[in-house]
Structure 1
């Protein structure tokens, strides 16, 4: 009977990276960490090294840059993952710059091999191997020697009983022609781009032998804790996925008397509800009632606020729920975000609170706080985010502001109404010289629902829904209200054909 060899996967200590790699780094694998200067390659290597290094799992870090290791360490120890007690105990640094100055690559290779044999490390890093190609003279014969050296070094590293890493700068064209990229078991590619005044960093797992990795570009940040990766629209492996069935679903209460009946008995769980309307029509208050009702029923919620700071929330009840820890708050008002980063924070808050309800207030504000690079694919990224959240069995309420146009009926300025399983429309009407608010249910997928247009008021007790609108004196359409007759359809006047 044949038995498969089980390869142990090493945790990287980089949030989000293990999921991209398919569970971690394969033990004894030979990996390249490549990309542009300043992209975070050395920081990524150190974060992995300090996570794994221990007295029984020692690490050897070769520096081939002109600067001493002490200078590099002065900056790396600013990160929270850095453990000074491990330096010279379970982490050992070797500077090869003086060996490189002599231009004898065979001697450099011998020095590396000897250090590895003497120290017997479990992890080996060479940073930056790319500078080897740029050191010394650039004669044809010497360039050949350097290429031969790198190939020999790579072959040596694949044979060691250690997990190894080569770190350096490479362009895409060089990567296509370099034999190192063929020999490597894993390749991590880091990029960064500046658009207007925003820097966006992304990581790609180009290759990881023997396991299923997640392809594509994934946003990451470098902060005081090191590197944090926000995988592109992925459901965490420990999250149960709910299958959406149009009929016969459990329904949840909205917290507004009369609205559940309009929705056909409440909002089906795991649905995405889009609430649209002009400024001041009551979208945020409806969202607040939705979350407050969830707390009353033992269904915690999370709100991602993109228009107001938590201290500016109009509803004091919601602010109380947030400060009491009953509703989680994602405050992204002043940040340049990606949708993947927002999704990561939402999932983290959902798992922490075991939340069943999520509010995104609003899509209009969300687009404003996104970094400019993400505007082009806003609809596609938003689709992935909603699919992930509803796939987790969470019920999502999104708000979207429309322009004050009353001659047509629209559901979203982004063409994103297709994302919603249900839609509630709020509008203004002019009746007897006063502005009145009305709402209607435009859609509930797989369910009967009310087709009525109902008046509603916003009071200290919340939203109060009135009777169906039978007739009204006109709609704000830029024409004098006295010209409109009772019963005029929404968006029409006396002179418009019915």
Structure 2
């Protein structure tokens, strides 16, 4: 069986290669969740490769209005309309002749257009006693697309279990939904059924932008790639007292460090110093979470003579924001790895883990997600430093997860703010990869 790639970012990863040619796939979910946008996105991507799509809508909405809505998407190409993407209404046939009339329309239009992708949008069957007719419709639809070497998407709200009887006859079922978290809506998809190959099971988040839909497979469920690098050297942390106490070598290259402490203990500045040591030869990536901004981070660093802006201007450091919009946990995870790859970063600072914790999925999947993220960074030989305020992460995630998260990291450093006037900060090295012995306490200046 030949694959039919969707060419939609992330979706073919979930499907381990795409749909199958000649298959019938149901996309079900409430109005506004993105089914129509996804189908049009696939149609125009298909057109870019020189292939044709027949888009048949059962809705009363005019094609001109649908095209008008799609025209704001970057995938839309006006020249493809009626040349590679053919819009046809089946509303009248459904009203006057029922599903048999729709099948006759599909048969004639597929023969005329030569389309290899068929979209049936808005199939809603709610009349009593219609189950047998629906089963017959899907059966004949499968026979039709197989004979025409055509792949078919059926878009439906799935209300009233109208399609439940015949769902076992199709090649795949994709369920789309919205879930609320702290007043924010997160879009999710689940592949409930897929014939022909394994898929990445469970729920996956996706977003809709001007570029269409983008899917984010659960990070910990993606295939494992081998090739983790052995220790190759050391990387200074950029603070003289700490590097000196660690024998002048800092941390192992490719290791990941967790810097914890209360608000005001100096975690952010420590991260900035580590990031500012980036060079064009060994680039770095600094990810800052809300409410901080790039300008604010550079201003704060400058007050302490930390050259964040200088490192950025010379091309050694890339500064990006994380979690400052309604990004899901997996969206942020894939974003981090994409930015690391784009920047070819050798060091990474995430300030702070709370950006990941303030998501719907973190409470249930935070440990596995973070463990996989660190594994991917280690495989890329990225030396990473994450900051964490236990009180902040507990507030963001709704659960006191901070103590357990430390076990995932190679190195654990605890910063303590001065308790008395005139006292200095101190840093406790609770865990250090490749180092044995009791915890080390290092007094810090300032």
TM tier, smaller: 0.7 to 0.9
Question: Structure 2 CA distance, aligned partners of 1:325 and 1:87?
Answer: 44
Corresponding residue of 1:217: 203
Question: Are 2:27 and 2:156, in contact at CA under 8 Å, matched by a contact in 1?
Answer: yes
Deviation at 1:107, TM superposition (A): 2.6
State yes or no: 1:419 paired with 2:408: yes
Q: C-alpha offsets along residues 15-59 of structure 1, whole Å, 9 cap, x if unaligned?
A: 211211212333333322222222111111111110011584111
Question: Structure 2 CA distance, aligned partners of 1:122 and 1:309?
Answer: 48
TM-score (norm 2): 0.87
State yes or no: 1:278 paired with 2:231: no
Corresponding residue of 1:490: none
> Structure 1 regions of 5+ residues with no counterpart?
405-410, 459-498
Q: C-alpha offsets along residues 45-100 of structure 1, whole Å, 9 cap, x if unaligned?
A: 11111001158411111111122222222212221111111001111111011111
State yes or no: 1:344 paired with 2:334: yes
Corresponding residue of 2:37: 43
Question: Are 2:176 and 2:188, in contact at CA under 8 Å, matched by a contact in 1?
Answer: yes
Question: Where does 1:328-367 land on structure 2 (aligned, <5 Å)?
Answer: 328-332=318-322, 334-367=324-357
Relative distance call for 1:54 and 1:453 in structure 2 (3 A) is closer
> Structure 2 regions of 5+ residues with no counterpart?
393-399
Q: C-alpha offsets along residues 395-438 of structure 1, whole Å, 9 cap, x if unaligned?
A: 2211112569xxxxxx974531112111111113457x513111
Of 22-31 and 343-352, the range deviating more from structure 2: 22-31
Corresponding residue of 1:189: 175
Relative distance call for 1:255 and 1:374 in structure 2 (3 A) is closer
Corresponding residue of 2:67: 73
Corresponding residue of 1:125: 119
Corresponding residue of 1:61: 55
Question: Are 2:172 and 2:194, in contact at CA under 8 Å, matched by a contact in 1?
Answer: yes
State yes or no: 1:99 paired with 2:90: no
**Counterpart of 1:188 in 2: which secondary structure?**
strand
Question: Structure 1 CA distance, aligned partners of 2:391 and 2:105?
Answer: 69
Corresponding residue of 2:287: 304
Question: Structure 2 CA distance, aligned partners of 1:361 and 1:208?
Answer: 40
Corresponding residue of 1:479: none
Relative distance call for 1:340 and 1:127 in structure 2 (3 A) is same
Corresponding residue of 1:253: 236
Question: Structure 2 CA distance, aligned partners of 1:380 and 1:363?
Answer: 14
Of 26-35 and 267-276, the range deviating more from structure 2: 26-35
Q: C-alpha offsets along residues 261-313 of structure 1, whole Å, 9 cap, x if unaligned?
A: 534533123322011122222212221222222327x2212122114211111
Of 203-212 and 14-23, the range deviating more from structure 2: 203-212
Deviation at 1:144, TM superposition (A): 3.1
Equivalent position to 2:80, from 78, 82, 86: 86
Deviation at 1:143, TM superposition (A): 4.8
**Counterpart of 2:413 in 1: which secondary structure?**
strand
Relative distance call for 1:163 and 1:144 in structure 2 (3 A) is closer
State yes or no: 1:388 paired with 2:376: yes
Question: Structure 2 CA distance, aligned partners of 1:119 and 1:75?
Answer: 24
RMSD of the TM alignment (CA)? Answer: 2.9
Question: Structure 2 CA distance, aligned partners of 1:331 and 1:160?
Answer: 48
Of 446-455 and 185-194, the range deviating more from structure 2: 446-455
Deviation at 1:256, TM superposition (A): 2.5
Question: Where does 1:2-41 land on structure 2 (aligned, <5 Å)?
Answer: 7=2, 9-41=3-35
Question: Structure 2 CA distance, aligned partners of 1:434 and 1:364?
Answer: 31
Question: Are 1:276 and 1:283, in contact at CA under 8 Å, matched by a contact in 2?
Answer: yes
Question: Structure 1 CA distance, aligned partners of 2:410 and 2:335?
Answer: 23
Specify the structure having the higher radius of gyration (Cα).
1
Deviation at 1:452, TM superposition (A): 3.4
The number of equivalent residue pairs is: 431
Corresponding residue of 1:471: none
Corresponding residue of 2:104: 110
Equivalent position to 1:243, from 220, 228, 236: 228
Corresponding residue of 1:441: 429
**Counterpart of 1:12 in 2: which secondary structure?**
coil
Greater helix fraction, Structure 1 or Structure 2:
2
Corresponding residue of 1:467: none
State yes or no: 1:200 paired with 2:217: no
**Counterpart of 1:154 in 2: which secondary structure?**
helix
Question: Structure 1 CA distance, aligned partners of 2:254 and 2:226?
Answer: 10
Question: Structure 2 CA distance, aligned partners of 1:152 and 1:371?
Answer: 44
Question: Are 1:198 and 1:371, in contact at CA under 8 Å, matched by a contact in 2?
Answer: no
Deviation at 1:373, TM superposition (A): 5.7
**Counterpart of 1:435 in 2: which secondary structure?**
coil
Deviation at 1:260, TM superposition (A): 3.3
Question: Structure 2 CA distance, aligned partners of 1:104 and 1:365?
Answer: 52
Deviation at 1:319, TM superposition (A): 3.0
TM-score (norm 1): 0.78
